[in-house]
Structure 1
């Protein structure tokens, strides 16, 4: 039998209570629908990036991510009169460093003390980023599987053009698939920290090797351009994505010219991937699909860099700049 326990007097002070909920990522706030003002405790002020304990609602709205702002404003307005428990999520700020917040409370008169509707803000950034990472991983896996089939079809077509017999065709195709597998294994081994930095020249050559007989390929990447073990998969994905698109639409679809150049200057790594027009003369508009989003997220978020890509009748030029390892 558990004995009854009573907390005495100052064991639950405002300071200890506030400290406890702040450590749990919970901030206290209140707002006045009539005056359109909000009161924020110290953690809430940190969430919103403001020093004022009392701020206007509109000033807070301006800090909400543009994509979330309209829905958040509607949810916020509803909490002033709807006497139900509510919970709505939104981002403060833009880009990968935005903070995810969940506003929770009871609306209407049930949540009021005087003119103020009282509630909490809960920092859910870690959970949201974990969900985003899981979602991205699932889509990336699906995308990579799709790309592997695309690569398989492209390699089969390249080998078939020059094959003089069925046995030679099978042998050549098997060798090319083996090289592609080695490139994937190379990235996996380094990622598990069995190896040190990987030269990007070596990684790119491994990934492009299966296409050597089908295109004029030149790789010239400085020895100083390397990937740390935890970034090898990022660079492998970038090269693989560019090669896959090229096999679909560009130089690697047969008989084209491709040049990859890399250099390190002032702690910045620059990679330039340049292709001549595809033999068919067809071009593809700059991608807006998952592959393009994956490139953007990998280069900008994971590698903290930037890139630009232009596609015209003359071919494709891709340039990325990231901090050197």
Structure 2
């Protein structure tokens, strides 16, 4: 994580008055998650170096709370907190510059403190305020001595202590941003799992060794059983007549690292069996090794049974039509026999009927129809990223039907684009916007994703997992094309999808 100096509160600026109240400070302190910085090794190294730099027996990184002063890191003392009422740092954090107390016994602010009058015998104190990026006072980086120092610190020591305080602020802010990033990652994962449960397909994933570690909520609803953790665990859920072929197919694909697709009968919670389409895609790291598999299970039982029924009827009709064609051809041959002037006409007509018979072999029945609305699907997928009433994301244009098979890969593509935008693109800043337009183009539907108002994008080398996932989903599963334009104003992505494939 890279921090920019401009994000830190200026060294020569006092805290923001509006954030000096205890309730405001408590909220900001809570947002930092300081508990994870207790005994932090980086902060411990800073206090140790500060003590050596300033030739002081004690150095501290303090966090001043409402009733106490906690030591996030310490050198030269064994205790980890003191009452706020005796805190020098509570005074230091409210200033714009380093607080230096040459002799605490002569300073009316501190002369009566127990740390000064008691056994510890504090005399010298120098502390640099720690202020959050919003301007809230948090504590200080300080050095303490039991001997007075009329001359305070040298210029080098003052400069060094200030630099160390800057390092502490960067460490604190980095931990805060990491904590917020982890929370945002968890939130997005929860949203994606919710989307996965909403989709009609069962979604699953496994690691590179074939250990299954995620199934969407629909698995237990559909099968009534707990998800398997390895390929052998699938056997009770797959029909005995389909198991060997399914096992062999998956083993071969996982060994080769190729896309997996198969149909088998899956056991449902009611004990019945339904035909299911299984698909899976491998994900590779930079070296080409498979690190993860993502897969889906789609109920195709009704279509399979319809296809079987339609196929049987079609086969019977084709057979009868061929018989009729054969009969007609025979009659023509008989009727034109002995009539030389009709022979050429008869042969031509027989040839035409024969061609019709061959064409009959290619007749197929299709019941594919769209089961959803593209605009509504995209809008629903992006709703968690938009923010209530923000108007940051718009979806406009002519919609198109979306079928169950296409909904899953399309959801993965849209989610990946949105996630990348939140991390690196327009949605990473408050003023950023994303406009999605839908346009018919011949036999295709064109989806344009245009970002604006965000940071200037950096062209991708195309080796990242997200890029490969989008490319594989668009080209392999949606039979489409993808174009990226790394404009200065923001990333623009164009998806050109087959309307026919989209509706399946």
TM-score (norm 2): 0.28
Higher-Rg structure is 2
- TM-score when normalising by structure 1: 0.42
